[in-house]
């Protein structure tokens, strides 16, 4: 079962740069993607925006859709992944967060 993304923000992901995430493709295949960049967008007090860039193998190329991600320290959660390019090292993928901040208690 997937966990919550509530506590995973730009800072948390930045602390895990250059670590690997297991992606479960649904057909029994598991791929390792490396988190290679975390970019913070134009956030506001109410909106949080950031993007994650991952590097994966040349094949198979993953379709644009929601995948279960698994990380040793961050747990398991679902993210919408999109291929954004390729380089000699592999396929580049992006996950974009654009969400309301939770009100502070």
Question: What pLDDT shows up at residue 85?
Answer: 96
**Measured between alpha carbons, how far is 6 from 18 in angstroms, rounded to an integer?**
22
* Residues 32-55 pLDDT 10s: 999 999 999 887 888 889 999 999
Structurally, how many domains does the chain consist of?
A: 1
Q: Does a structural domain hold residue 56?
A: no
Q: Does a structural domain hold residue 93?
A: yes
Q: Does a structural domain hold residue 15?
A: no
The closest alpha carbon to 40, from 16, 13, 18, belongs to 13
What average pLDDT values come out for the chain (105 residues) when binned by 10 residues?
Answer: 74 96 90 96 85 96 95 95 94 94 69
Q: Does a structural domain hold residue 26?
A: no
Domain of 93 in residue numbering reads as: 67-99
Residues in the chain: 105
Q: Does a structural domain hold residue 18?
A: no
Q: Does a structural domain hold residue 92?
A: yes
82's CB contacts (< 8 A; 6+ apart) are 64, 93, 94, 95, 96
Q: Does a structural domain hold residue 90?
A: yes
Instruction: Read off the tokens for 63.
Output: 């379709």
- The Cα-based distances of 103 to 6, 49, 50, 100 in angstroms read 12, 16, 18, 9
């Amino acid at each position: 079962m997937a966990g919550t993304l509530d506590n995973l923000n730009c800072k948390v992901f930045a602390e895990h740069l250059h670590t690997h995430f297991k992606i479960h493709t649904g057909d029994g295949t598991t791929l390792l993607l490396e988190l290679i960049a975390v970019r913070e967008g134009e956030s506001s007090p109410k909106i949080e925006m950031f993007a994650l860039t991952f590097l994966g193998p040349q094949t198979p190329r993953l379709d644009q859709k929601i995948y279960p991600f698994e990380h040793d320290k961050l747990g398991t959660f679902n993210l919408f992944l999109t291929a954004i390019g390729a380089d000699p090292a592999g396929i580049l993928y992006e996950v974009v967060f654009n969400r309301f901040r939770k009100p502070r208690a």
